[in-house]
A = this chain, B = another copy of it.
Amino acid sequence: MYAQSQPALTSTLARLPTPALLLDRDRLRANARRLAGHIASLRGVLRPHVKTHKCVEVAREVEAAGHARGITVSTLQEAEYFFDSGFDDIFYAVGLSPNKFARAKALLDRGCRLSVTLDTCEMAALLAAFAATEGGSFPTLIELDTDGHRAGVDPDGDTLLELGRLLHERAGVELAGVMTHAGESYKCQTPQALLASARQERDRTVAAAARLRAAGLPCPIVSIGSTPTAFAIDDLSGVTEVRAGVYSMFDLVMANIGVCALDDIALSVLVTVTGYQRDRNWLITDGGWTALSRDRGTASQRVDYGYGAVLDTQGRRLPLLMSDASQEHGIISPANDGEGIDVSAYPLGSQLRVLPNHACATAGQYEEISVMEKGVVTDTWKKARGW
């Protein structure tokens, strides 16, 4: 009843159960084209990461922007889900472990061009031993640690060559190249720092490939990537592919890093106003931390957006933040201290949209995506979740 006099967009949104995950398809396309264009200008190739959305239709949109070959996944479940939907060139970019060998082999057996990564001679030996008894041959990239972020071998250390030799010489494993992820780029605050991070990621990876080749070992794939460094890099000489994922959606963390504008963010969460605390200038909504995730990535950044920046249903920014969250309650309050909220502007049952801190974490809370195009909900896309 409260939405009868609203325009078409509001009407279609009003039919959605809330909380709901909304995707602005126009923004998705623009984001995908933007990175594809940048990588093309450097004569590079993308291998888009699907871990943010885990959605076949989104992956196809990203692929349609061009200059992409294959996909990157963060779980074997993603690999299986996308392979079942026709994606057959898949890099599983998280270090493999023994209890996942059989599942990876099953994909290879079904014809998937799956490649994997690891960073120890012990794991390579375990994989080769598995292949010796179970069969299969695993194209394997050596993971490099180029910025101290988490996993990977030192590009300048002895293990690189030892591991390269092992992968090249043992049956059941194939040395397919090197890969890294410049995860520390998320902490950059300036364009200069981003460029330095991107060049370090590239330089150390290209140098590791050169060391392998100088030792007489093959290194066909030289794979780098993170959304911040993918946009910042200015020369891809020596690099065969760039992996990035969150750029298709973007989020408030990326906006704070300076990689996108708030108006580029393609993902939002639709919530319903369920009540007020007038004395405290709070709107209460049905979107709590299950709807947005517990990710508070902007808490340590330039602008802290709480659990999210707030839009109206048309996508216009409001001077509000989602300031707190319980499991199924959101609290929305003025973005600027000392300001009030005219609650009459937000009647009970009316809807708001919340831009997330971290698109990967927020999307991870949902099994489907409501797709908006030119302001109207046009589709519902399924997505994967879990492992």
Chain A residues in contact with chain B, CB under 8 A?
A: 1-2, 14, 16-19, 51, 74-75, 94-100, 103, 118-120, 122-123, 126, 129, 145, 148-151, 183, 272-277, 280, 282, 284, 286, 289-290, 293-296, 324, 326-329, 331, 347-349, 358, 360-361, 364-367, 385-387
Contact = CB atoms under 8 A, between A and B. Distances in A.
A19 B386 CA distance: 9
A272 B97 contact: yes
A331 B286 contact: no
B289 A361 contact: yes
Contact of A99 (B18, B276, B277): B18
19 contacts: A2-B98, A18-B97, A74-B328, A94-B274, A94-B328, A95-B286, A97-B274, A97-B349, A98-B348, A99-B272, A100-B286, A120-B275, A122-B347, A122-B348, A151-B274, A151-B275, A289-B361, A290-B364, A364-B365
A94 B284 CA distance: 11
Nearest to A285: B97
Given A150-B284, A293-B294, A294-B295, A120 B348 contact: yes
Contact of A361 (B123, B294, B329, B386): B294
A365 to B, nearest CB: 8
A97 B367 CA distance: 22
Nearest to A145: B277
Given A151-B284, A365-B386, 14 more contacts: A17-B103, A17-B387, A74-B328, A94-B274, A94-B286, A97-B272, A97-B274, A118-B274, A122-B347, A148-B280, A151-B274, A289-B295, A294-B358, A327-B360
Given A97-B348, A294-B295, A275 B123 contact: yes
A96 B294 contact: no
Contacts of A360: 327
A282 B152 CA distance: 12
Contacts of A286: 94-95, 97, 100
A348 B118 CA distance: 11
B386 A366 contact: yes
A284 B349 contact: no
A62 B360 CA distance: 34
A267 to B, nearest CB: 16
Contacts of A329: 94-95, 150-151
Contacts of A75: 328
A329 B118 CA distance: 13
Contacts of A272: 97-99
Contacts of A150: 277, 282, 284, 324, 326, 329, 331
A22 to B, nearest CB: 14
Nearest to A94: B328
A287 to B, nearest CB: 10
A334 B349 CA distance: 49
A293 B294 CA distance: 7
Contacts of A126: 1, 348-349
Contact of A349 (B98, B295, B327): B98
A276 B348 contact: no
Nearest to A276: B120
Contacts of A51: 327-328
A274 B95 contact: yes
A290 B19 CA distance: 20
